Amino acid sequence: MAVHSELKKPPKDAIAIKVNGNLVDLDRPVSPDAQVEYVSLDSEEGLEILRHSTAHLMAQAVLELFPGAQLTIGPPIDNGFYYDIDYERPFTPEDMKEIEKRMARLSKRGFPIEREDIDRGAALKLFEERKESYKVEMINDLPEGEALSIYRQGDFVDLCRGPHMSSTAKLKHYKLLSVAGAYWRGDEKNKMLQRIYGIAFRTREELDAHIQKLEEAKARDHRVLGKQLGLFLVDENAGPGLIYWQPNGNILRKTIERFWEDEHERRGYQLVTIPHIARDELFKISGHYDFYRENMYVLNIDENEYVLKPMNCPGHILIYQQETRSYRELPYRLAEMGTVYRYERSGVLHGMLRVRGFTQDDAHIFCTPEQAEDEVVAVIDLARFMLETFGYENFEVELSVHDSDDFSKYAGTLEDWEAAETALKRALEIREIPYKRIEGEAAFYGPKIDIKMLDALGRGWQGPTIQFDFNLPKRFDLRYVGADGGRHLVVMIHRTVLGSMERFVGGLVEHFAGAFPTWLAPVQAKIMTITDDQIPYAKKVEETLRGGGLRVRSDFRNEKIGKKIREAQMEKVPYMLVIGAREAEAGQVALRVRGKGDTGALGLEDVLRQIRSDVESRAFSPGEN
């Protein structure tokens, strides 16, 4: 991005400009003394402009093909764009193909994309004449005196701030992906619209690479694999957004939880369990009742109001409050796999990734201000250890801090906030972790660190969070007796190192494409017989492996061995033990290893040793050790 103190001829790759920090179209008049930055297509801002313009191209194609369609909004998003449209019938896959073809035709015609400033009255008249009722509603909802602009390309007109590309001829590398329902303005009380999603890139190579990545992601979809592998189910009769863990999924979950509990106890946490419901009074003290009630489930019991807990922190606070605590007892660390319930609109629910009931690997640390930095460093170490153990090697870290221009919306004192933000910053720097500082994105009760883990396809998944809290210690008067004999407010740190178990397991399914490491696999070894004559020996093999602590299943059906092997491969079992007459006579098994195929005949003790080595080392692929 080139910077110029005076206006010069733009570089060939410029598609827009920044005037005193504000993005505008390339041909906008600029004052000679303005600070001008030329924006190229290779920049993130340039790519966003390309995608926004492609959304307009799609809308133009829709209006030409489907007269009477009503446009609402069409913003750029990560990797692409969408446009919400009101039309009398659902768009079909065939419609999507026709829209793409019309987009290509409009692109080739090379319509100039031109901005026009317009006053409120003229804008209302224009869209009323075009019978675009949603645009009329949007204009009427804008504050009086707000500047308006429209963009034209051929006969197409859209209400938009811009900026945009200069011509439809520059919009070439895109693809429409899907149609989904979306309520107008995100409100379930409003009409359901159709949201058409698309992607757009600078080059054909980038587009093709992303399409291939999407195909890989589709093959890893946790909803499909979850059903195929018998991990979980969601039943509409029982209620959307509620996860039922099936036997295989529960084995996976409990394996993770046992590992989590062992590590937390080893690092000085005390494990607790709190009820799923509590009197509303508890959440009135915490502030959740006033600020979060629309996302809470409220029950009436014995003429009292109870709440299905949306957070675990008030319950952990009650446990801390049971005794007067000295500074010598701090830090006091409480941890729990705590299930919480939060109302989410049905339209945003998505498999295990967005649910209404989930179990959070929650912990709360009560400490002195002097201990806070060391505690944060220890949480970072624990989070990295946990995630790396589960195969996540790359992370993106964000540090959310207060808005330096307006401190009035935050709990606590500015001095407290600056100390907390410094502690978080220093902890990241001590561990040499690069991070992105985001000003104004902290919650009102404290600054935080968010760690996103990048999976095998480079996608970010929400994971560990480390959050200071200046609100709850004051609301609950959480204190400790200091060395001076005085009573002081504790520093309270909320943290998760996995996030919700539902989302974490859903992400883990997609990260490994369902082919879990042996230590996590619900079935670590499957025994298959060629004929019924081998069943007695196969049962002894099964007993030996189970006795060695392995999770084993057997397939003694009267089916061809090829079918049994194919089914075990579909189940992504790490080890397959095939037993025929020769193996039974020799006291061996023919060993097949996932990803390696037939590895030959081995004695039973050797097989047991190899599988247990995988489990104990937590190797990512079977047979690595």
Of 175, 448, 495, 592, which is the active-site residue? Answer: 448
Let me know how long the chain is. Answer: 625
Is 108 known to be catalytic?
A: no
Is 494 known to be catalytic?
A: yes
Of 153, 175, 313, 551, which is the active-site residue? Answer: 313
Type of residue numbered 268: G
SS3 content of the chain, % helix, strand, coil (to 5): 40, 30, 35
> The tokens of 198 are what?
């698309």
Is 362 known to be catalytic?
A: yes
What is the DSSP track for 452-502? EEE-TTS-EEEEEEEEEESSHHHHTT-EEE-TTS-EEEPEEEEEEEEEEHH
Q: How far is the CA of 125 from the CAs of 118, 131, 207, 544, in angstroms?
A: 11, 10, 40, 82
Dihedral of the CA atoms 126, 128, 132, 138 (nearest 10)? 80
The single residue listed with the structure tokens 């200071």 is 468
Is 342 known to be catalytic?
A: yes
Is 313 known to be catalytic?
A: yes
Is 364 known to be catalytic?
A: yes
C-alpha span between 527 and 537 (Å, rounded): 11
C-alpha span between 264 and 331 (Å, rounded): 14
Report residue 620 CA to chain centroid gap. 23
| Sequence-ordered list of residues with C-beta below 8 angstroms from that of 147, at least 6 positions apart, any chain | 117
Is 4 known to be catalytic?
A: no
Q: How far is the CA of 147 from the CAs of 23, 138, 216, 565, in angstroms?
A: 15, 13, 45, 68
- Tell me the backbone φ, ψ of residue 255, rounded to 5 degrees: -65, -45
C-alpha span between 455 and 459 (Å, rounded): 5
Of 84, 158, 361, 362, which is the active-site residue? Answer: 362
What is the DSSP track for 74-101? --EETTEEEEEEE-SSPPPHHHHHHHHH
| Sequence-ordered list of residues with C-beta below 8 angstroms from that of 39, at least 6 positions apart, any chain | 1, 14, 15, 16, 17, 18, 23, 45, 46, 49
Type of residue numbered 304: N
Of 360, 467, 524, 534, which is the active-site residue? Answer: 360
Of 175, 288, 356, 494, which is the active-site residue? Answer: 494
3-state secondary structure 331-395: CEEEEEEEEEECCCCHHHCECCCECCEEEEEEEEEEECHHHHHHHHHHHHHHHHHHHHHCCCCEE
Is 269 in contact with 337 (CB distance < 8 Å)?
A: no
Active site residues: 313, 342, 360, 362, 364, 448, 494
